[in-house]
């Protein structure tokens, strides 16, 4: 059996841990809802794609040595969403991403709290000094989170990812904005 050591990180209110099969149900409910419109999900998403998406996120721990953490409420034990780095093969570089699976978890600072712990861990683990967050221009909540974490809009990369042929290009959709995180700012957010 293949074994990968995935750390468990903690904040004042959260446990940041490896994805488990038990997390697939709330993930599937989220990704197959209209709430997931900014992360590639939607109400009509076939179940097989949702299953693959969850497996892909978990599998990146094996392939890259890092991926998104499940955010769990330390008091209730409820899985709230996925937060952290991920780097699919088609991406130009690692991305810090976040999605909260439950509407009642939004606006409570969980993503910023989790990322303030995850970012220094990521910089130390990888030795990298930058990462991106690719955010739909209409996703104002995620834009605020990226800015709160110290990320700045990267105009040049934003132009590049919106060109035809880019994995992020949506001919009829909103533009993708690229926010750049730097290791120095990530350490300050912590």
Q: What is residue 29's predicted lDDT score, i.e. its pLDDT?
A: 84
pLDDT above 80: residue 168: no
Round to the nearest angstrom and report the end-to-end CA distance of the chain: 36
User: Residue range 134-160: average pLDDT?
Assistant: 89
pTM of the model: 0.87
Classify residue 59: in a domain, yes or no.
Answer: yes
b/e map of 33-45 (b: 16 or more CB within 10 Å)? Answer: eebbeebebeeeb
pLDDT digits (tens, 9 = 90+) for 131-146: 999 898 888 989 999 9
Q: What is residue 167's predicted lDDT score, i.e. its pLDDT?
A: 67
Classify residue 1: in a domain, yes or no.
Answer: no
Classify residue 2: in a domain, yes or no.
Answer: no
In CATH, what number is assigned to the domain containing residue 48? 3.40.630.30
pLDDT digits (tens, 9 = 90+) for 36-50: 666 665 566 667 777
Q: Could you list the residue range(s) of the whole structural domain that residue 81 is in?
A: 9-189
- The rounded distance, in Å, linking the Cα atoms of 190 and 184 is 10
Classify residue 181: in a domain, yes or no.
Answer: yes
Q: What is residue 113's predicted lDDT score, i.e. its pLDDT?
A: 97
How many domains does the chain fold into? 1
Among the ranges given (15-19, 48-52, 119-123), the one the predictor scored with the smallest mean pLDDT = 48-52
């Amino acid at each position: 059996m293949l074994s990968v050591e995935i750390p468990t990180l903690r904040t004042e209110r959260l446990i940041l841990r490896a994805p488990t099969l038990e997390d697939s149900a709330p993930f599937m409910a989220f990704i197959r809802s209209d709430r997931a419109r900014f992360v590639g999900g939607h109400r009509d998403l076939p179940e097989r794609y949702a299953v693959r998406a969850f497996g892909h996120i978990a599998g990146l721990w094996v392939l890259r040595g890092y991926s998104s953490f499940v955010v769990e409420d330390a008091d209730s034990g409820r899985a709230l969403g996925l937060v952290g780095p991920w780097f699919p093969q088609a991406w130009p570089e690692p991305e810090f991403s976040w999605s909260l699976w439950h509407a009642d978890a939004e606006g409570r600072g969980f993503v910023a709290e989790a990322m303030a712990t995850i970012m220094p861990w990521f910089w130390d683990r990888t030795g990298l000094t930058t990462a991106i967050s690719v955010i739909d221009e209409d996703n104002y909540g995620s834009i605020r989170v990226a800015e709160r974490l110290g990320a700045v809009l990267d105009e040049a990369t934003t132009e590049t990812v919106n060109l035809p042929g880019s994995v992020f290009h949506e001919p009829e959709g909103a533009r993708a904005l690229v926010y750049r995180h730097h290791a120095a700012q990530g350490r300050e957010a912590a």
